[in-house]
Amino acid sequence: MQIALVDGMAGSFESLRANVVEIASKLEEKTAVPAVKAQLAYLQAIQEVSFWEGIHLDLLEELRLRLRNLIQFIDKQQRQNVYSNFKDEIEGIRLGDVVVVPKMTGPQYEKKVREYLKAHLDHIAIGKLRQNQPLTPDDLEELEELEELEELEAMLIQIGEEHGKTLLASVLQRTESPSLVHFVRRIVGLDRSAVQALFAEFLQTRNLSSAQIRFIETLIDQLTAQGVVSPAALYEPPFSDMHAGGPDELFAGKDAVIEGIFSRLESLMPDKAAG
């Protein structure tokens, strides 16, 4: 970034700046680490547009020094080692154009959207999705045209200001969400009582083993937290920890239970269900 700033390479600077903002966002989650917690306010400031207004070499150098010993605390699968071997060279002094910093990066926008959704659980569309209630008696294919959902979409676009539509589309793509409904459900989760009611039929039967009950309870936990669980996920941890053969073998001989679990999962998929 320092080199890009000196050479006036606005494109390179912005790309690198976005990386640094994302690093700060990931570090912010590591407050259990004392060294990170001590820099928490600084890490949060880095993610704000105001931090980058009037940025100059001295501030970038301070940024480098304050972050370099914290990078080690980012999960290994989320970071990449970079090795450098170069010497500083003074090639003269010249004037350059000021780097124009966009108001918001993708990671910044996504963070603000997540915070907004979690802070507005009483919004009519969000509330209905959490309670597994249909937004309309019509088929879910028409959800995108609903007034409640359009209002929510408008609010999320407004968060991104003039680039809101592009930023929202980028978030949906990055999170592999086929629709806004799917994305919102994944962020706000499902109301636990609504999920329990959906699977109560199985838990109330007295012919399930402790492992089978634990499987269903784990599924309830996952749906409460994530809002959506794909059928394929039932063959992966933590479900496969209960039986390596998946639900087919765990519930062998209880075809009605197996079919019921998968049909209920299907009904909870935001783009295919009525809830």
pLDDT band at 179 (very low <50, low <70, confident <90, very high): confident
pLDDT band at 197 (very low <50, low <70, confident <90, very high): very high
Global pTM reads 0.59
Q: Given this model, what pLDDT does residue 102 score? A: 57
pLDDT band at 132 (very low <50, low <70, confident <90, very high): confident
Q: How far is CA 261 from CA 1, 133, 195, 268, 274, in A?
A: 52, 19, 12, 11, 16
pLDDT > 80? residue 39? yes
Q: Please say whether the beta carbons of 13 and 99 come within 8 A.
A: yes
Q: Where are the domains of the chain?
A: 2-78, 106-188, 192-268
- The more confidently predicted of residues 149 and 9 is 9
For range 235-249, the mean pLDDT: 93
| Structural tokens at position 77 | 């699968």
Q: What is the CA radius of gyration of the chain?
A: 24
Helix 164-174, helix 106-119: angle, nearest 10: 90
pLDDT > 80? residue 155? yes
pLDDT > 80? residue 121? yes
Give dist(CA 186, CA 231) in Å, integer: 15
Q: Given this model, what pLDDT does residue 94 score? A: 65
Give dist(CA 171, CA 183) in Å, integer: 9
Read off the pLDDT of residues 72-88 as tens digits, 9 standing for 90 and up.
998 876 556 666 676 76
Q: Please say whether the beta carbons of 57 and 88 come within 8 A.
A: no
Q: Please say whether the beta carbons of 246 and 235 come within 8 A.
A: yes
For range 90-99, the mean pLDDT: 64
Q: Given this model, what pLDDT does residue 275 score? A: 38
